Amino acid sequence: MKKRALITGITGQDGSYLAELLISKGYSVHGLVRRVATEDWFHRYWRIKHLVNKINIHAGSLESYPSIINLITKIKPNEIYHLGAQSYIDYAFKDEFSTINTNINGTHFLLSAIKEFSPKTKFYFAGSSEMFGKVRQIPQTEQTPFYPRSTYGISKVAGFDLTRYYRDAYKLHCCSGILFNHESPRRGFEFVTRKITHSVARIKLGMQKKLRLGNLKAKRDWGHAKDYVLAMWLMLQKKPDDYVISTGKQYSVEDFAKLAFSEVGLDYKKYVTIDKKLYRPSEVDSLLGNCNKAKIKLNWKPKYDFKKLVKDMVQADLDFVKKEGY
């Protein structure tokens, strides 16, 4: 009998790659989507349109406990991958209340429903390097104290603590992945990496003149989403624990822009302008992960390096802009 997996956030970057991975491993894949997504199929399902005949889509809400209960009792999943969240940091500054409400309650509802109705279900929580925020240690490990600098980071710390609490108190199989920045051609256009590669393609093709960016000096540990969803799956195949998932290498936003423009033979300095309005109210200056625990216990390591990641995204956006015209 096929294993059944439920993915929240299946229409997102990570959800789409994870669905592909689980299908390749013989799973029956189920995805939770907001009801509004079913009414705007073309725009909201673009990452999974090639999978719609291979997965099961369920309309529901992470903000409704009865909705979660109905879903879990109906599917009876062997594994739940909780990726669904309000994940765009800039939006978290603009709407703190919905970020806190959606991200914390959704995690709590899922864990409670598992405890009450499906205690054998394995649960994965998508943590974030944004939980470290104003870092206390370089590089960051599973033991580094959290100091979040946004309501998004705060909500992820709460989700991490809830996951650990349900694991310890009720002996549930719960894991958290503290994932550092991971990108791909499926990244949303609102994220800085995709904003850069999409703009590079448009500038190269004569459709745009300048690229406005905020803090070029912010440094991140960037990996590829394909590598990181494999780590998620590996976690649930082992004893429940928490893992930092990262590359262990750090680059600035400026480094990303420089490499992206160089991929099409352009000098980024001629096209990038600084817009102070794009700075965060409280900046996270530097994030760098140490994933040795994952390497040893999960036998996981990233296949994509920084240059290959950027090249993949730039080429995909060149193809996208040529095809779609925007």
Instruction: Measure Cα distances from 311 to 5, 221, 247, 317, 318 in Å.
Output: 32, 16, 17, 10, 11
The verdict on whether 128 is a catalytic residue reads yes
28, 67, 128, 199: the active-site residue: 128
- Rounded to 5°, the CA angle 314-320-321 comes to 90
Which amino acid makes up residue 238? K
What six digits make up the tokens of 184?
Answer: 């791909």
Bridge partners of residue 224, in order along the sequence: 183
The verdict on whether 63 is a catalytic residue reads no
DSSP label at 126? E
Helices within 171-191 (DSSP H only): none
Say if CB 11 and CB 58 are below 8 A apart.
Answer: no
45, 124, 129, 130: the active-site residue: 130
Give the contacts of 303 (CB within 8 A, at least 6 positions apart): 224, 226, 227
What six digits make up the tokens of 248?
Answer: 């262990």
The verdict on whether 20 is a catalytic residue reads no
17, 27, 45, 152: the active-site residue: 152
Which amino acid makes up residue 140? Q
Which amino acid makes up residue 188? G
Say if CB 55 and CB 21 are below 8 A apart.
Answer: no
User: What stretches of 181-274 adopt beta strand conformation (E)?
Assistant: 182-183, 211-213, 219-220, 223-224, 242-245, 251-252, 272-274
Active site residues: 128, 130, 152
